[in-house]
Amino acid sequence: MALDRGAATPFYLVRSEPIQASLRELESQPFGFPTRHWFSCKTQPAAPVLRWWRGQNRPIEVVSEFEFRAALREGFPATSILVNGPAKHRWLPRVSIPGIRVHFDSMNELKALESQARAHQWKLGLRLRTRGEMDPENPDRPTQFGMDPSEFQVAVRRLQRLGLPLETLSFHLRTNVPSPDFYQAALQEAAEVCEAARFRPRHLDCGGGLPPPHVLMRRGIRYDARMSLQELASMYRRQRHRWPSVEELWLENGRFLFAGSGALAIRVLDIKERGGLRQLICDGGRTLHALISTWEHHELIPLVPRRGTKIRTVVHGPTCMAFDQLAYRQLPKGIRIGDVLIWLEAGAYHLPWETHFCHGLAQVWWEDDAGLQLARDAESFEAYWGRWR
Ligand SMILES: Cc1ncc(COP(=O)(O)O)c(C=O)c1O
């Protein structure tokens, strides 16, 4: 246990075993295509996770210069790096190496990068924005990603005319896709777009989006309430005949593979009782470590079980923001100052959204077959302040 080894709250604990278990679950599904799972680096950009994934000879998907450089630093070969995301023309030219895979997100990006694509022998894909890809917060507005079908066709023709190796059709619908129907609608639309463009992809990259188990929306419903892996795989099998040229299905699931691999440990520093509420003020919380708690509800368990009636409790972080509420729920009255609380499913979109709001970054512990080790120190004052010139 990390606390016995000197871990100091707040800290994240990340373990390889749950990642392996989720991979096994996904890989046991017969999707009807040979399937390749890419590590969505943005989900959990932590060095030990990259090293572990690399050690399994698995490929990585990156969307920024720093992620790309991290993948190179950790020894991923060029052919195992897929560069995705918008506006890559701003940074990719200064760090590109031969042989990588690049998915163009727009015509402007394609035109800005096509000569480098040739010079560096990139393998190429195009990201399609399917009809269903609307901003979840503003459902009347399309998302900003990928190319609409008409633009997609122009891009296919251009790359074919230039003789560049266009191999992949890619889309990423959104995160926490509610059911297989959404992927099915996207696949049907994508097949029509490919037909119209006379594009026969070798790879079909359907992005990420699978909801992880155990995570609830704030209204208490599981994100995966209507998602079944068996039904998803069966849907892919039914679509197989529409994609005769496809040699591999590519998936980039972040949350599904990684959420369960992490936990956040925080300590209760102060307790207030007011307005019929118990307020636990802790050394970590939403603002610093778990922005995701704004819309997700995860399990929160006291490390040492406490008795007592359960009462309405708010778990606050230490920042001066009323917003800093990791959880609001019934918790045992016996919880006291000094107790450690564990927030689960913290292995996806916690570390990359950690903030520096008046405090330094937390420790990160990593556990794999070789044991438990401190992977990242808590940020020191010197690191926090010393970067100012
Ligand atoms: C292109 C792409 N692939 C994969 C992912 C991973 O998504 P998720 O964590 O929902 O599986 C994302 C997330 O934003 C993405 O933008």
Tell me if 224 sits within 8 A of 211, measured CB to CB.
yes
* 325 CA → ligand 1 middle, Å: 26
Domain boundaries defined on the chain: 3-8+260-377, 85-251
Burial class, 256, CB count within 10 angstroms (exposed 0-12 / middle 13-18 / buried 19+): buried
Q: Does the pLDDT of residue 210 top 90, yes or no?
A: yes
C-alpha atoms less than 13 angstroms from C-alpha of 252 in its C-beta half-sphere: 27
C-alpha span between 182 and 89 (Å, rounded): 30
CATH class of segment(s) 85-251:
alpha beta
Q: What is the pLDDT of residues 287-333, one digit of tens each?
A: 999 999 999 999 999 999 998 899 999 999 999 999 999 999 999 99
Q: What is the mean pLDDT of the chain?
A: 97
Token look-up 């920042």 returns 319
Residue 44 CB less than 6 A away from ligand 1? no
State the closest ligand 1 atom to the C-alpha of 207, by its place in the atom list counted from 1.
3
**DSSP-derived secondary structure letter, 284:** S
Coil, strand or helix: which one is 336? coil
State the closest ligand 1 atom to the C-alpha of 177, by its place in the atom list counted from 1.
10
For strand 363-368 and strand 166-170, is the pairing parallel, antiparallel, or unpaired? unpaired
Q: How confident is the model at residue 350 (pLDDT cuts 50, 70, 90)?
A: very high
Q: What is the pLDDT of residues 226-240, one digit of tens each?
A: 999 999 999 999 999
Q: What is the per-residue pLDDT for 376?
A: 98
| Phi, psi torsion values for 20, nearest 5 degrees | -60, -40
Arithmetic mean of pLDDT, 163-185 = 97
Hey, what are 229's tokens?
A: 């892996």
Q: What is the per-residue pLDDT for 32?
A: 97
Q: How far apart, in Å, do the first and last CA atoms of the chain sit? A: 39
State the closest ligand 1 atom to the C-alpha of 210, by its place in the atom list counted from 1.
11
Q: What is the per-residue pLDDT for 307?
A: 86
Residue 22 CB less than 6 A away from ligand 1? no
State the closest ligand 1 atom to the C-alpha of 258, by its place in the atom list counted from 1.
9
Q: What is the pLDDT of residues 20-57, one digit of tens each?
A: 999 999 999 999 999 999 999 999 999 999 999 999 99
Q: C-alpha distances in angstroms, 369 versus 242, 257, 364, 373, 377? A: 42, 18, 17, 11, 21
Q: What is the per-residue pLDDT for 136?
A: 86
Residue 209 CB less than 6 A away from ligand 1? yes
Asked, as a colleague might, if the bond just before 178 is cis with ω within 30 of 0, I would say: no
Q: How confident is the model at residue 218 (pLDDT cuts 50, 70, 90)?
A: confident
* 280 CA → ligand 1 middle, Å: 33
- Claim: this prediction has a pTM higher than 0.85: yes
Q: Does the pLDDT of residue 137 top 90, yes or no?
A: no
CATH node for 3-8+260-377: 2.40.37.10
Q: How confident is the model at residue 114 (pLDDT cuts 50, 70, 90)?
A: very high
**DSSP-derived secondary structure letter, 379:** P
Residue 170 CB less than 6 A away from ligand 1? no
Q: What is the pLDDT of residues 328-347, one digit of tens each?
A: 999 999 999 999 999 999 99
Q: If residue 177 lies in a helix (H) or strand (E), which one and from where to where?
A: none
* 349 CA → ligand 1 middle, Å: 10
* 197 CA → ligand 1 middle, Å: 26
C-alpha span between 166 and 159 (Å, rounded): 7
Q: What is the pLDDT of residues 54-91, one digit of tens each?
A: 999 999 999 999 999 999 999 999 999 999 999 999 99
Q: What is the per-residue pLDDT for 109?
A: 98
Choice from 62, 252, 261, 345 to test ligand 1 binding pocket (greatest atom count within 8 A of CB): 252
Q: Does the pLDDT of residue 219 top 90, yes or no?
A: no
Share of the chain above pLDDT 70, in %: 100
For strand 296-297 and strand 216-217, is the pairing parallel, antiparallel, or unpaired? antiparallel
Q: C-alpha distances in angstroms, 343 versus 35, 127, 186, 221, 290? A: 32, 35, 34, 18, 9
C-alpha atoms less than 13 angstroms from C-alpha of 28 in its C-beta half-sphere: 8
C-alpha span between 233 and 320 (Å, rounded): 47
Tell me if 337 sits within 8 A of 269, measured CB to CB.
yes
For strand 340-343 and strand 300-302, is the pairing parallel, antiparallel, or unpaired? antiparallel
Choice from 171, 175, 223, 224 to test ligand 1 binding pocket (greatest atom count within 8 A of CB): 175
Residue 254 CB less than 6 A away from ligand 1? yes
Q: What is the per-residue pLDDT for 81?
A: 98
Q: What is the per-residue pLDDT for 387?
A: 93
Q: Does the pLDDT of residue 1 top 90, yes or no?
A: no
Choice from 39, 43, 215 to test ligand 1 binding pocket (greatest atom count within 8 A of CB): 43
Q: How confident is the model at residue 245 (pLDDT cuts 50, 70, 90)?
A: very high
Arithmetic mean of pLDDT, 271-299 = 97
Residue 32 CB less than 6 A away from ligand 1? no
CA angle 200-201-206, nearest 5°? 135
Tell me if 193 sits within 8 A of 201, measured CB to CB.
no
Residue 40 CB less than 6 A away from ligand 1? yes
Contacts of 206 (CB under 8 A, 6+ apart): 170, 171, 172, 183, 186, 187, 249, 250, 251
Q: How confident is the model at residue 205 (pLDDT cuts 50, 70, 90)?
A: very high
